[in-house]
């Protein structure tokens, strides 16, 4: 039986969930995912017969934790998808990276693409036919000699964008061996696909698709993050 989802907010057709790392947002039938857990939760709680509809307007990578919205009807899904396309949704992340930026805050802008048939992205020249512009803003919240705690606000939403852009600057996200990290993070899972990386969708804000009110949710960190002792006052203060 799937575990219940961690619900931060339920407001009419809208949920905001706190997704754990190591869990797929969506997966094939029968494979554990946030979508599967939420559908099962709704079917049991609301005593729904037959199939349960769930819209998933955006995703978080499997090893990434944090705030994500899912919705209970098509109209809500379409309206939030439109906000995402128009870039009116605020998505703020916390990341612990190896190394240190040269400046306390700034903007990263690259051209990138999803590598066909691989769960990975890469930087490309702007003239590449598959090139997509990737933009994020960052600021340093705290740093040690070896690690830096960053707050990141996405301006675009590309596959593995934060992971690739940080790696390109020689600041790989802790635990993200796919993009060059040396340090591990979280529990040592037997299945590498279930491991976490130190990237957390901290805040999600958007217009409620039905009531038009502001939805603004902050996702608490898991206890995995207590391993960063030098940053605890900020992370859990």
- Among the listed residues 193, 194, 195, the one whose alpha carbon sits nearest the alpha carbon of residue 184: 195
Question: Catalytic site residue 61?
Answer: yes
Burial of 153 (0-12, 13-18, 19+ CB in 10 A): middle
- Among the listed residues 208, 201, 233, the one whose alpha carbon sits nearest the alpha carbon of residue 6: 201
Active-site residue identified among 4, 61, 102, 188 = 61
- Among the listed residues 40, 37, 1, 43, the one whose alpha carbon sits nearest the alpha carbon of residue 22: 37
Q: What residues does 201 pair with on adjacent strands?
A: 66, 93
In angstroms, rounded to a whole number, what is the distance separating the alpha carbons of residues 145 and 140?
A: 13
CA 57 to chain centroid, in Å, comes to 13
Structure tokens at 36: 């599967």
Tokens 């494979």 correspond to 31
Please identify every residue annotated as catalytic: 61
């Amino acid at each position: 039986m799937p575990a219940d989802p961690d619900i931060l907010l339920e407001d009419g057709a809208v949920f905001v969930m706190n997704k754990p790392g190591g869990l797929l947002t969506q997966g094939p039938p029968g494979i554990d995912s946030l979508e599967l857990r939420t559908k099962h939760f709704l079917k049991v709680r609301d005593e729904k017969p037959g199939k349960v509809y769930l819209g998933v307007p955006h995703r978080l990578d499997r090893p990434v934790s944090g705030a994500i919205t899912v919705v209970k009807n098509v109209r809500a899904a379409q309206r939030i998808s439109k906000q995402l396309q128009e870039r009116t949704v605020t998505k703020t992340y916390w990341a612990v990276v190896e190394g240190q930026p040269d400046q306390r805050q700034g903007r990263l802008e690259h051209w990138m693409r999803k590598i066909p048939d691989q769960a990975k992205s890469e930087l490309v020249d702007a003239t590449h036919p598959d090139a997509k512009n990737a933009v994020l803003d960052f600021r340093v919240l705290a740093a040690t000699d070896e690690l830096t705690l960053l707050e990141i606000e996405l301006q675009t939403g590309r596959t593995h964008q934060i992971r690739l852009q940080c790696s390109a600057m020689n600041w790989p996200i802790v635990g993200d061996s796919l993009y060059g990290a040396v340090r591990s993070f979280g529990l040592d899972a037997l299945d590498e696909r279930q491991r976490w990386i130190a990237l957390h969708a901290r805040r999600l804000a958007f217009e409620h698709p039905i009531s038009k009110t502001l939805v603004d949710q902050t996702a608490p960190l898991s206890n995995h993050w207590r391993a960063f002792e030098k940053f605890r006052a900020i992370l859990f203060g």
